[in-house]
Amino acid sequence: MAGAVWRERSAAHEERARALTAAHRSRAARHETHPVEDFLFTYYSYKPAVLHRWHPGEGVELADASSDARAEWRWYRPGHVPGALSVDGEGFRAERGGLVANVARILRATAGRAPGFGCFGLHEWAMVYRQAEHRHPVPLRLGQDSTDAVVEAHDLRCTHFDAFRFFTPEAVPRNRDTLTRESQSDLEQPGCLHAGMDLYKWAVKLGPLVPGEVLLDAFELARDVRELDMRASPYDLADWGYDAVPIETAEGKAAYVRAQRGFAERGQLLRARLLQIAGD
């Protein structure tokens, strides 16, 4: 890739990444938090700098790059053309082959499974079921008793362990399946909002193998999914500018599923791309 081309792509990536992280960085400087938007930076624990760094992906040589800062970055090596650099995919896989294989295993299993659209985001409700203290300092939209009643009136069908593990003790036996970390690849399915958000995590874990544009696409999907996740939650987020998706009603369920289907389609495209990168 010619120097002028990759430098333009790197600059465009940096501009896009800074726009995506600007609000979070501004809040962090003021020691403020946001119950919806900061999740991707706190739950996944990846700093904005991870998003700001552009990689071309594996198998691409960057011409005229020997004097660029990336010459000192880990997982880069001299290219076949003098003065060029490329991602050291072989070195990355040699050191982190187990991680790459595990990511590919989960992605492959999820991609091959039929999507489920009957959970209605009740995992967030199960996380506050019969609890006086909640994960977010935001009031419940229906109050505690009515929130509990919604959980009791529905069949909990969560398939994502990292959501299930935050269920309250009283909610755990109400779920259709008892989930474990070991069973993750057996139950993960592409309709799950959290499986869609996790594509960002998998993209980060694959590091320099992932082109920067794919990483930011995964982050944007996670951001959009997180918004629906919280709008459909039991929390009252009106003061934060979010209208509720009232999944306790037929209209709310239909709106949730429509959005969920769209996210599943976006997720499957990204999942296929990450599988190609992981070497499936």
Q: What is the pLDDT of residues 51-94, one digit of tens each?
A: 999 999 999 999 999 999 999 999 999 999 999 999 999 999 99
pLDDT at 135: 77
Q: How much is the pLDDT for 11?
A: 97
Secondary structure in 3-state letters for the chain: CCHHHHHHHHHHHHHHHHHHHHHHHHHHHCCCCCCCCCHHHHCCCCCHHHHHCCCCCCCCEECCCCCCHHHHCCCEEECCCCCCEEECHHHHHHHHHHHHHHHHHHHHHHHCCCCCCCCCCHHHHHCCCCCCCCCCCCCECCHHHHHHHHHHCCCECCCCHHHHCCCCCCCHHHECCCCCCCCHHHHCCCCCHHHHHHHHHHHHHCHHHCCHHHHHHHHHHHHHHHHHHHHCCCECCHHHCCCCCCCCCHHHHHHHHHHHHHHHHHHHHHHHHHHHHHCC
pLDDT exceeds 80 at position 136: no
pTM of the model as a whole: 0.95
Q: Please, are residues 235 and 139 in contact by the beta-carbon 8 Å criterion?
A: yes
Give pLDDT tens digits for 204-259: 999 999 999 999 999 999 999 999 999 999 999 999 999 999 999 999 999 999 99
Give the pLDDT confidence score for residue 139 in this predicted structure. Answer: 94
Question: What's the rounded Cα separation, in Å, for the pair 104 and 71?
Answer: 28
Q: What residue has token string 């999740």?
A: 39
Q: Which residue has the tokens 């190609």?
A: 276
| N-terminal to C-terminal alpha carbon distance within the chain | 25
| 75's tokens | 């997982």
Helix axes 193-205 and 250-278, enclosed angle (nearest 10): 20
What is the per-residue pLDDT across 172-190, written as a single tens digit (0 to 9) for each? 999 999 999 998 888 999 9
What does the pLDDT look like over 107-135, one tens digit per residue? Answer: 999 999 999 999 999 999 999 999 987 77
Contact 213, 13 (CB under 8 A): yes
280 pLDDT higher than 70: no
**Residue 240 and residue 34 in contact, taking contact as beta carbons nearer than 8 Å:** yes
Residue 144 pLDDT greater than 90, yes or no:
yes
Lateral strand order in the sheet of 85-87: 61-62, 85-87, 76-78
Q: Which residue has the tokens 């990759």?
A: 6
Kindly give the interhelix angle for 212-231 and 250-278, rounded to the nearest 10 degrees.
Answer: 160
| CB neighbour class for 132 (10 Å; exposed up to 12, middle 13-18, buried from 19) | exposed
Q: List the structure tokens of 148.
A: 């509990």
